[in-house]
Amino acid sequence: MTDLDLAYLSIAEASDRIEAGSLTPTALVEAVFARIDETEPRLNAYVRLMRDTALAEAQAATLRAAGGQRLGPLDGIPIAVKDLFDTAGVITTGGTGSYVDRVPTDDATAVRLLRAAGAVILGKTNTHELALGGTTNNVHYGATHNPWNLAHVPGGSSGGSGAALAAGSALGALGTDTGGSVRIPAGFCGITGHKPTYGLVGRGGVLPLSPTLDHVGPMARIVEDCALMLNALQGYDPTDLDSVPTEWQDFTLDLEGGVRGLRLGVMPSMLTGCADGTRAAFDRALATLAGLGATIVEVEPMAAFDDWSSPTAPIIVTEGATVNEPILREHPETVGEPVRRRILRGLDANVHDYFRALEFRKVIEQRFEAAMGPGGEVDAILLPTALDTAELIGDSPEDERSPVDKFLTTRIFNHTHQPSLSVPCGLDGAGLPVGLMISTAKWRDALALRIGHAFQQTTDFHIQRPGL
């Protein structure tokens, strides 16, 4: 295999080859770094490489494999980490000028768990500043480019992770998701991203934006790889006040269960304004799942409410301003003007509006749980990940406000705290990826992954490569 072929292996494929002795972690990591050297800095997916430690970790994994002592399927697998996760001894900035010299002493919980599973940490990927935006146009570190068309954004805020996976410069990646920041880059870059149930994956050591809405999730090229990563990432985190103690489960066990007999819901109200190319790809995805034996029905969990998006708007700006208050008050000039202008509104937020927003979020959660929980109308809800594909970098408004409705589909499931998965489902007329989003009731992550895996077993969108 060529270095490029190695770089585009799935985690599952690479792990099988390492287990069989036909591939060493050292050779795999070297191939991925060769790909990074080919694509950076014009892609600008990475802001910081950890080449020396990564090669040392790969060599250690190679020795374990040779001795029949692999730690598991992630042992020796090269993983990228969003620059929101603390990495011991390595600068972690959160994409802001406020933290250019910030060097954590400990790994974030998710990074620590990946290292414990033998994963090789390649480096830190670019993020929208303070994770508050959907483009990854970072004023401090530059814009990240979409591998499918360098003139377009990769989505955000985990855009560096999404771009790296699409370009073959990582086999897996960590992202965070507060309003779609794992799933939007997954949709825009033609890869797979999973936002787990709130509380399933610990957020310790991750720079927060909105603790009520923040999630940590795996990103990869296929669903099976996200399941393998989730196996390592799950678990109670005492440093995360919202972490929930749960019994460990193997998220790969039910992947082959298929969709026959499942009722999959579509919300017509959420398709208003959907771009033609996106809608066409979405409709074809529905037909594919119906052909596999699923029943597609309409569902509207919020039918009783005329406006159920605006009331929750105060949550993210109020909490974002609060967690970042020290830098906003003392060094506001270190935050780029677009993000600063948006987040400063939260410092003077009305406490009554914030309280009402928190209460209404619970109403949304309750209604979506009723729709998809035991005895509900459907087993899952399907939507386009975004209502349009990736915009041109130059067309992205600086305050990130005008395209917000494009991402209403992802934001819903941060408010419901339910698992939500984005898988590639085609290209629009301009050759840009379209994402299919699959969401289920809380703690039914395995079902969302199973539906996504079934879709990927009968389509090839997840193995298509951009002509970078």
**113-131 per-position pLDDT tens digit:** 999 999 999 999 999 999 9
Q: Which of 10, 15, 158, 181 is catalytic?
A: 181
pLDDT grade for 379, boundaries at 50, 70 and 90: very high
Residue 320 lies in a domain: no
Residue 325 has pLDDT above 50, yes or no: yes
Instruction: List CB contacts of 17: < 8 A, sequence separation 6 or more.
Output: 9, 23
Instruction: List CB contacts of 434: < 8 A, sequence separation 6 or more.
Output: 187, 277, 278, 281, 282, 384, 385, 389, 424, 425, 426, 427, 428
CB-count exposure of residue 415 (10 Å: 0-12, 13-18, 19+): buried
The count of domains in the chain is: 1
Average pLDDT in the 226-255 region?
98
**172-197 per-position pLDDT tens digit:** 999 999 999 999 999 999 999 999 99
The CATH number covering residue 70 comes to 3.90.1300.10
Residue 399 lies in a domain: yes
Average pLDDT in the 308-318 region?
91
Average pLDDT in the 354-360 region?
97
Residue 339 lies in a domain: no
Average pLDDT in the 327-338 region?
94
Residue 206 lies in a domain: yes
For residues 248 and 200, what is the distance between their CA atoms, to the nearest angstrom? 10
The 10 Å CB-count burial string (b at 16+, else e) for 63-84 is: ebbeeeebbebbbbbbbbbbbb
Q: Which of these ranges, 41-50, 209-218, 305-314, 420-429, has the smallest mean pLDDT?
A: 305-314
Q: Which of 157, 158, 161, 169 is catalytic?
A: 157
Structure tokens at 311: 């009331």
Largest CA distance in the chain: 62
> Residue 195: which H helix or E strand, with range?
strand 192-195
pLDDT grade for 406, boundaries at 50, 70 and 90: confident
* Global confidence as pTM: 0.97
Secondary structure (DSSP) of 316-373: HHHHHHHHTHHHHHH-GGGS-HHHHHHHHGGGG--HHHHHHHHHHHHHHHHHHHHHHS
> What's the per-residue H, E or C state across 410-431?
HHHHHHCCCCEEEEEEEECCCC
Instruction: List CB contacts of 58: < 8 A, sequence separation 6 or more.
Output: 25, 26, 28, 29, 30, 76, 78, 120
Whole-angstrom CA distances from 466 to 51, 189, 370 are 25, 9, 40
Residue 403 has pLDDT above 60, yes or no: no
* pLDDT score recorded for residue 398: 53
Residue 150 lies in a domain: yes
* pLDDT score recorded for residue 419: 98
Express as a percent the part of the chain with pLDDT over 90: 94
Q: Which of these ranges, 41-45, 253-257, 281-285, 338-342, has the smallest mean pLDDT?
A: 338-342
Phi-psi map region of 203: left, alpha, beta (phi>0 left; psi -120 to 50 alpha) = alpha
Residue 369 lies in a domain: yes
Secondary structure (DSSP) of 73-142: TTTT-EEEEETTB-BTTB---TTSGGGTT---SS--HHHHHHHHTT-EEEEEE--SGGG--SS-EETTTE
Structure tokens at 80: 């990228």
Q: Which of 10, 82, 210, 439 is catalytic?
A: 82
pLDDT grade for 402, boundaries at 50, 70 and 90: very low
* Residue 195: active-site member: no
Sign of the alpha-carbon torsion through 170, 171, 177, 180: positive
* pLDDT score recorded for residue 394: 84
* Residue 181: active-site member: yes
Residue 425 lies in a domain: yes
Q: Which domain holds residue 54?
A: 3-306+351-463
pLDDT grade for 400, boundaries at 50, 70 and 90: very low
* pLDDT score recorded for residue 308: 82
- Sheet (strand 120-125) strand order: 46-49, 120-125, 78-82, 172-177, 215-220, 192-195, 420-427, 433-439, 380-384, 263-266, 295-298
* Residue 82: active-site member: yes
Residue 344 lies in a domain: no
For the chain, what is the mean pLDDT? 96
Q: How far is CA 18 from the centre of its chain?
A: 26
Residue 36 has pLDDT above 60, yes or no: yes
Secondary structure (DSSP) of 151-192: TB---SSSHHHHHHHHHTS-SEEEEEESSSTTHHHHHHHT-E
Average pLDDT in the 334-356 region?
94
**38-76 per-position pLDDT tens digit:** 999 999 999 999 999 999 999 999 999 999 999 999 999
For residues 156 and 245, what is the distance between their CA atoms, to the nearest angstrom? 30
pLDDT grade for 1, boundaries at 50, 70 and 90: confident
Average pLDDT in the 304-315 region?
88
Q: How far is CA 419 from the centre of its chain?
A: 12
